[in-house]
Amino acid sequence: MKNKLEIVLKKPAIIGIFVLGLIPSAIKAQVKSQPLEVVGKMFEAFGKGDMESLKKTVSEKTVWIYEGPRAIPYTGSYEGKKGVVQFITNISSNVEILDFKVLKMLAENNTVVALGYEKQKIKVNGNILEQKWVQVYTVENGLITRMEEYANTAAAERLFKKNRNGKHNRSHFDKKS
């Protein structure tokens, strides 16, 4: 068996973001701590499009943060179970997930770091975004209380702003509030 955890999601199945291909046995084989198990269950539920099971892995007061420029429509801070669902809905409303892999998960105490890769098609212009990402989870009392995602938001911003011809669009994201 490989010495890393790899979760592979292929082709959209439900609402454009939920995809098939998770390998639950790989998650179970690599789980060595309760926080890893919780985050693994969350990824498993995400891969199946099972929002009810996913919500069971997060606390009522969980905070999920995706830092980035306003041109990325799902940038922001999302609070509670409803916020997590809104975050995922915002992603699925704006991109089609073509590929999603969790390459490795590391844990120390109540912190889990997930390293991954994704390929997305931006719905508004058809541009393809490929990037590696890092997600940092905090798990307390068996539930995810925080998730922070880090990715190449500068590249994502450029791709969200480009039209199908590769030229930058001026949009409402460029206007100052």
> In whole angstroms, what is the distance from residue 87 CA to residue 74 CA?
6
Span 7-161 CATH architecture: Roll (3.10)
> In whole angstroms, what is the distance from residue 24 CA to residue 44 CA?
7
Reported as a pLDDT band with limits 50, 70 and 90, residue 15 is very low
Task: Write out pLDDT tens, residues 101-131.
Answer: 999 999 999 999 999 999 999 999 999 999 9
Contact 121, 128 (CB under 8 A): yes
Task: Write out pLDDT tens, residues 65-93.
Answer: 999 999 999 999 999 999 999 999 999 99
Task: Write out pLDDT tens, residues 126-154.
Answer: 999 999 999 999 999 999 999 999 999 99
